[in-house]
């Protein structure tokens, strides 16, 4: 696998090694020893899977300490625009974002460290989105930032995404009191 740094401290883009022939392909979505050799020594405790239709935007979400989650995210079917924002006040990339297309075709993965907000927009007819988490979900620890906040300058390429009521009412950056 190849590991690439992003413009955000500690967030990594991962391109697994793909073995393909006329029958199809094979690759390891995760192998602890291989990730550890690349400096990614985390323990996953929960796997999540979501299916969403075109134009659905989920996020920008995070879990507050002590329930903060690191996530290894990837797409099994379809394509998404994946976006993360560094919420760590002491980080030199605090308040900055990174975005990348993750798809079943490109098989890229994104490591989202604890202390980051995360969201994605479905670009294909539907998308099956998978992620491994380093901490259990805790409803009382939910946090988020409004997807369209002008401070973040995220280019979502959509004006009216399909949103949950919760995601429509998340606070702006100006009103966020980062717990990180």
Catalytic positions, please? Answer: 61, 131
Q: Where are the beta strands (DSSP E) in the chain?
A: 2-5, 12-15, 19-21, 24-26, 46-53, 57-63, 71-77, 79-86, 97-103, 109-112, 116-122, 126-133, 142-144
Report how far Cα 92 is from the mean position of its chain's Cα atoms.
20
What is the dihedral sign for C-alpha 158, 60, 45, 2? positive
């Amino acid at each position: 696998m190849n590991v690439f740094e992003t413009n955000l401290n500690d967030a990594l883009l991962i391109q697994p090694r793909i073995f393909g022939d006329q029958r199809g392909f094979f690759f390891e979505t995760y192998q602890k020893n291989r990730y550890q050799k690349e400096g990614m020594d985390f323990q996953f405790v929960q796997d999540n899977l979501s299916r969403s239709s075109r134009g659905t935007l989920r996020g920008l979400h995070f879990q507050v300490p002590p329930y903060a989650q690191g996530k290894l995210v990837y797409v099994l079917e379809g394509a998404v625009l994946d976006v993360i924002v560094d919420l760590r006040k002491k980080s030199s990339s605090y308040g900055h974002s990174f975005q990348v297309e993750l798809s079943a075709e490109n098989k890229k993965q994104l490591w989202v460290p604890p202390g980051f907000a995360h969201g994605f927009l479905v670009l294909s007819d539907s998308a099956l989105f998978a992620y491994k988490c380093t901490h259990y979900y805790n409803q009382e620890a939910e946090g988020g930032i409004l997807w369209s906040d002008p401070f973040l300058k995220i280019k979502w390429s959509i004006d009216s995404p399909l949103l949950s009521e919760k995601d429509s009412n998340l606070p702006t950056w100006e009103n966020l009191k980062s717990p990180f």
